[in-house]
Structure 1
Amino acid sequence: MRQMIYKRFERFWHWSQSLLMLVMLVTGFEIHGTFSWLGFEQALQWHEVGAVALIILWVFAIFWHFTTGEWKQYIPTTEKLVAVIRYYSKDIFFAKPHPYKVTPDRKHNPLQRFSYLGFKLLLAPVIWITGLMLLAYPFGLQVLSLPTLSALHLLSAFLILVFLIVHVYMTTTGDTPLSHIKTMITGYEEHQDPDVDEQTLPSEKNT
């Protein structure tokens, strides 16, 4: 059964955010001297452009989530949490079925909900606040010392990089290594389970 899971704006937001985060990571690490590619001035310029674009994207995404009610997808739940953890730590290696069935109303399993919520409430605020404070530092807003701000910003960047690496790995744990990625591109998921009842597919024009 073919079922739409991710609407058009969700897919645009996901891939645009991913691209901008990669731009921010690459240019940010170059600014800190991890490697040399664009040069400090260009890296700083692209880092700031990426930051502005990402802020604008997040404003639209937050508005969309709250006006459509999709923010409820991120409410934490412990329902099937233990089963999902057991699946990824053990059952997946024995080709057992995933204990959580994705639907348009329940897109994220409990483990994803906790990880995404942690990203939005912890990592994202730290990197944005420290980043904005670094931009404002030359203009007199010096709440923390420059080395402390830089260290906090860099630490949060490394944690976001780890988050992205784990996220990419998790996309390969579907029925096939590319099935989750295909779903995020097309919006549709192929259900193999005959017990999953076919639902009316949402129209793209409502996105």
Structure 2
Amino acid sequence: MPMKEGMKKIYLYTRFERFWHWAQGALIITLALTGFEIHGTIDLFGFERAVAVHDFCAWSWLGLYVFIVFWLLTTGEWKQYVPTMEKIYDVAMYYASGIFRGEPHPVPKTVRRKHNPLQRLTYVSISTVLIPFQIGTGLLYLFYNQWADLGIANSMSLDMVALLHMIGAFGFLAFLVVHVYMTTTGHAVSAHIIAMFTGWEEVEDVDSVQDWEKKSERI
């Protein structure tokens, strides 16, 4: 397929980024399915197998999360996720209406800026709030029998922890649904998805650093 005029192809996502993207997606879906079975909502694997798979995936995700944080810190890629309010209104209005009128994206992707301000705010919120919340409630649920040894047996109930963990799970499912939809908003429906397999993505041919980037870059 010929490249659209005014576009260029750049190597945007490394192999590890692509691996962690798909691995996290698979883990989230598996954790959700097994978690719902543990709570008695669905019946797919059988209770004992669901518990075993859920625990395995939970520990795998925790290990992956540690590697992701380490990779971000050692490669400097953490800078891609520094939140900014610059252009965030423009991006929100683009997704709310501009995209349906064929308007250009207000923040084109570049190697130095893979994520627009709205994405950065979302990813930082998930990484610093939702993921630790889910890990914390999951560990409390898993080590319920050790609550007395930790001195927290009288400070909370298992039902409350289970409810909080379920709320976090719905938060991830909501993000997953929105994320899947957003993958279809490129210049072609499959463009973003293909990029997460190959690492190469067609982006607007913009080489100069935009003014909003200069204002928001304080690192």
The two structures share one fold, judged by TM-score above 0.5: yes
Secondary structure, counterpart of 1:173 in structure 2 = coil
The separation in 2 between residues aligned to 1:186 and 1:100, in whole angstroms, is 22
CA distance in 2, matches of 1:38, 1:147: 23
My pick for the range that moved more, 136-145 or 13-22, is: 136-145
Per-residue Cα deviation, 1:64-95 (whole angstroms, up to 9, x for no partner) = 00000111111111121111011000101101
Q: In the alignment, which of 81, 106, 125 is matched to residue 74 of structure 1?
A: 81
* Correspondent of 1:32 among 24, 34, 39: 39
Count of matched residue positions in the alignment of Structure 1 and Structure 2: 196
Q: Give the aligned partner of residue 187 of structure 1.
A: 199
1:120 aligned residue: 127
Alignment of 1:58-69 (within 5 A): 58-69=65-76
- Structure 2: how far apart are the matches of 1:176 and 1:34? 37
Tell me which residue corresponds to 1:166.
Answer: 178
Residue 197, structure 1, aligned to residue 207, structure 2: yes
* 1:129 corresponds to 2:136: yes
SS at match of 1:144: coil
2:196 counterpart of 1:149: no
TM-score normalised by length of structure 1: 0.91
- Determine helix, strand or coil for the equivalent of 1:60: helix
Specify the alignment match of 1:201 in structure 2. none
Q: Does 1:51 align with 2:58?
A: yes
Q: Is the 8 A contact 2:12 2:111 kept in 1?
A: yes
Among all aligned residue pairs of Structure 1 and Structure 2, give the percentage whose two residues are the same amino acid: 48
* TM-score, normalised relative to structure 2: 0.86
Structure 1, unpaired ranges of 5+: 199-207
Superposed displacement of residue 183, structure 1 = 1.0
Q: Runs of 5+ in structure 2 lacking a partner?
A: 1-7, 209-219
| Alignment correspondent of 2:115 | 108
C-alpha distance in 2, partners of 1:127/1:62? 16
SS for the counterpart of 2:69 is helix
**SS class of match (1:189):** strand
- Look up the SS of the partner of 1:38 in the other structure: coil
